A = this chain, B = another copy of it.
């Protein structure tokens, strides 16, 4: 592997000169155009490729960003990652994957971040437990971190997420505008620390109250479980038609949940959207292809990713900024009306 020493020898200059030329700092009143040429020629002739590892060790910065993920199989995570990669590339940074399937040993993750002198770290869907481990270390070693859609309330970091409240509002108001009043909400897990589920459920309740629909408020927990969601849906739809809690519309906290709800309704012989309107949340690739196509709230996952990277790198000339600030940054969402919602029957 050819090094700058080789180039220096071939071009008849010193290592330092080569370094200057290669780093484009040549223009800065230093190297003469003549030697610059010679060095560049030597470099290309020799097929030189710089050693980023060595470079990183001398400068102390690694131009690598860690992407810490709990379960990377899901489309939203993949899309956030895609956005992050794109942005990182723009700045000549890299994404290094961190993560385990379970939350086993968050300690080891931190160690790795430090050992590789990561310039920053993005964590997505982090649990409060994991973050509690993470935080002291992060602070001690001053690694900038931004959180994406974390599961619990956090202090000490920027948190980037979609506008959950507005998203739910858009969905519910869409249903109300179609004449629905008996609108139920199927959310995620009941656990206190499920920040996102919780927030969305609360937003639902608030909108319902604003609309004077208090008596129809009906929050159901799917518990992240298909069978359970199905059972709850059945229960809901089996209520007597005149019950204030027998919904004519079901807003779901996610597209996947909406799919289960629709499928269950279909199996019960209830037609969507004619007899039951359903909304999702996320706008996954499969949402548009569903049967019927899902009316849903679209999250800008890619932009969440790129924003995360930008926040990490937003110091002057790309220096990662150390941020003690605890800030929540909320990205806009859009309602996508497709075919799983319709005006309420009669």
Chain A interface (Cβ < 8 Å from any Cβ of B):
1, 47, 49-54, 56-57, 62, 64, 67, 71-75, 77-79, 81-82, 85-86, 89, 94-97, 99-101, 111-112, 114-117, 140-141, 226, 256, 259-260, 262-263, 266, 284-286, 288-293, 302
Contacts and interface: CB of A to CB of B under 8 A. Distances in A.
B89 A82 contact: no
Contact of A286 (B86, B114, B284): B284
Given A86-B101, A284-B286, A115 B57 contact: no
Contacts of A256: 285-286, 289
Given A286-B256, A286-B259, A290-B259, A96 B99 contact: no
Contacts of A96: 64, 94-97
A153 B22 CA distance: 38
Contact of A290 (B85, B116, B291): B291
A138 B285 CA distance: 34
By Cβ-Cβ distance, the 7 closest A-B pairs, closest first, are: A78-B78, A286-B286, A259-B289, A95-B97, A49-B114, A52-B115, A72-B82
B290 A74 contact: no
Copies of this chain in the oligomer = 2
14 contacts: A49-B141, A52-B117, A64-B96, A67-B97, A72-B78, A73-B285, A75-B78, A78-B78, A86-B100, A94-B112, A226-B288, A263-B293, A266-B292, A290-B290
A74 B115 CA distance: 31
Nearest to A54: B57
B75 A73 contact: yes
A77 B285 CA distance: 14
A80 to B, nearest CB: 10
A286 B263 CA distance: 12
Contacts of A290: 259, 263, 286, 290-291
Nearest to A92: B112
Given A74-B78, A78-B72, A100-B89, A51 B95 contact: no
